[in-house]
Structure 1
Amino acid sequence: MAKKYVLREHLTAVPFNEPMKPDEPVVEVLTSAEFAHLSFADRQMQDAVRTLATVENTYLDVFPDCLIGSFAVPSKDCVLCDLECFAFYLDKTHLLFLDEQDTCIRLLDAIAKQGFVKEPTVAHCLFEFMKQLVKGDLAFLADLEDRMEDVEESIIDRGLEGTSRQMLWYRRMLLRIDTYYQQLVDMASSLADNENKLLTHEESRLFLVFERQAERLLKRSLTLKEYSLQLRELYQTQIDIKQNDTMQFFTVITTLFAPLTLLTSWFGMNFTHMPGLNWPWAYYVVIAVSVAIVTLELILFRRKKWL
């Protein structure tokens, strides 16, 4: 899976065993097994890079003559699936990626295909690589917002069934996206600070540009996260309204039959000389009175818009 690229006029893939000119900028992608057999830097640095290859964080560490870091990238096809994790090492002429999958090769091939790197340096290549990581993210977030709007309409118009799980899924997804963008902003800020003076002024300025781009994506994701909280509040409001409607229905039914309950309780008393017990039409009179009471109550409730 090892692959090598050189930076001349643009990024170009070459055979891995092709000899390089002295100080020629080189970009390499290796697996952990391939990296272990490579005579590269010192043992401590190799161990540090290998460790970072499995870290589920986007992170940068600055050394006097190099930079090492890791990327933990959520997939746009399945944000909540396993992160795409890989590490990198950068010095003046080498950019090395330690990747167990094909993520780095895919992104570097895309850079090579576009045939453009502003300057043939490994720092410029890293900048283009980070741009590829967030390429299409604004469209992805816009599509995510559209799907959240569909959930909002579902809550309002088509009931509550199934929306709770959807909202939980969106909240978890936005939390992961928000964390990723925040870490990208921190990494770009550290690169732009150029603490060890490894980068030129122009190269550090590029990462400042990327930091601003990542901040815009971060703000967009934060807006969507707030929107997800609003959806949760709307969902809870709809539940409260549904519960209130149910309680109102039972209250109306109770109120409707309260006079009839009083009437039946009154005539249920076992007094010997209760008036009307011996009237031939008493039973029908009670029925008529009960119907009249219910009818009047229904009319009143409709006027009050309780029904």
Structure 2
Amino acid sequence: MAHTYVLTNRLEPVPAGEDVPAGRPVVEALTSQELASLGYADASAQESLRFLATVENTYLDVLPRCLIGSFAVPDKAHLSCDPLCFAFYLDESHLVFLDEGDTCARMLAAIARQGYVKQPTVAHCLFEFMKLLVKDDLTFLANLEDRMEDVEEAIIDRGMSGANRQMLEFRRKLLRIDTYYQQLVDMASALAENENKLLTHEEGRLFRVFERQAERLLKRSLTLKEYSLQLRELYQTQIDLKQNDTMRFFTVITTLFAPLTLLTSWFGMNFANMPGLDWSGGYPAVIGVSLTIVAIELIVFKRKQWL
């Protein structure tokens, strides 16, 4: 179902079945079928919109008299799932979102609930729309950082055998959100440059402001990506330490029994005239010597802090 709004000093919904007042800027959220029936843009532009509405990419195409673009917004609650994809068409008096879901309708309803709009233009409405897309992203990134810190503490305290999978999940999420922010920066930059002179100077300034906001989010996501690499290095360090401890344990055990191996090899030689073979106290003596050697080694190892 089409969601239609007109711009006055606010975004006002147009009830279904009523005509849009002439001369007013119009903002709409439509499906592919509704777009064809209303006749916005020419056939090639409509085909481009249908294609962009399904592309998992945030992109802007600057045409002589309009702008056509797409958004691929990661679902913050389920970053591993497919992004929310939709396209938009912007000319001097129309902003049309092509969305097969309800994302754009919900966003426009949120803008309408805000009340006053500083500039009653479709470009300004697009700016407000893009602001809503990243409204809570700093909080989202802060929460993601908190979860990464919890994993870091778990690795240090317990080794955390499942940390490798969690770190892989962090890297995948950050890669997706990092790509999204980079594309948002590129889109905002292209809008601010105003190549086809569709926007006013003030509207271009607004998108320059949004570009700086997206750049800050991009820098934060890049910082978290570096943090995820540090977590991986920490995890590998913990594994190396465990392996070193294991190797040191086996080395100490091998060293501890090396003199005993020498004794058993020495007295295991089959020489007929070997001294001590007929001595009745030979066996207890060997046991005593072995225990003495082991005790001396244990004392030395304790002092060297090898045990």
TM-score after normalising by structure 2 = 0.98
Q: Percent same amino acid at aligned positions?
A: 74
Q: Helix, strand or coil: the match of 1:37?
A: helix
The equivalent of 2:29 in structure 1 is: 29
Deviates more, 1:3-12 or 1:29-38: 29-38
What's the CA shift for 1:9?
A: 1.4
Superposed CA deviations along residues 148-204 of structure 1, whole A, max 9, x for unmatched, are: 000101111011310000000000000000000000000000000000000000000
The equivalent of 2:97 in structure 1 is: 97
Aligned positions, number: 307
The equivalent of 1:292 in structure 2 is: 292
The equivalent of 1:230 in structure 2 is: 230
The equivalent of 1:61 in structure 2 is: 61
The equivalent of 1:52 in structure 2 is: 52
Q: Aligned-pair RMSD on alpha carbons?
A: 0.9
Q: Which runs of 4+ in 1 moved over 3 A?
A: none
Please list every run of 5 or more consecutive structure 1 residues that lacks an aligned counterpart in the other structure. none
What's the CA shift for 1:214?
A: 0.2
What's the CA shift for 1:18?
A: 2.1
Q: Helix, strand or coil: the match of 1:198?
A: coil
Deviates more, 1:164-173 or 1:32-41: 32-41
Distance 1:259 1:88 in 2: 81
What is the identity, as a one-letter code, of the residue corresponding to 1:217? L
What is the identity, as a one-letter code, of the residue corresponding to 2:233? E
What is the identity, as a one-letter code, of the residue corresponding to 1:141? L
Distance 2:201 2:16 in 1: 31
Distance 1:92 1:39 in 2: 16
Distance 1:299 1:4 in 2: 86
Check conservation: 2:159, 2:235, Cα contact below 8 A.
no
Check conservation: 2:107, 2:132, Cα contact below 8 A.
yes
Q: Helix, strand or coil: the match of 1:20?
A: coil
The equivalent of 2:15 in structure 1 is: 15
Superposed CA deviations along residues 20-75 of structure 1, whole A, max 9, x for unmatched, are: 23331111111112223222221111101111000100000001110000000001
Q: Helix, strand or coil: the match of 2:98?
A: strand
Distance 2:51 2:184 in 1: 19
Distance 1:68 1:180 in 2: 18
Q: How does 1:70-149 map to 2 (within 5 A)?
A: 70-149=70-149
Check conservation: 2:181, 2:215, Cα contact below 8 A.
yes
What is the identity, as a one-letter code, of the residue corresponding to 1:203? E
Q: Cα 1:37–1:20, aligned 2, differ >3 Å: closer, same or farther? A: closer
1:262 maps to 2:262: yes
Distance 2:289 2:261 in 1: 13
The equivalent of 1:280 in structure 2 is: 280
Superposed CA deviations along residues 235-254 of structure 1, whole A, max 9, x for unmatched, are: 11111111111111110000
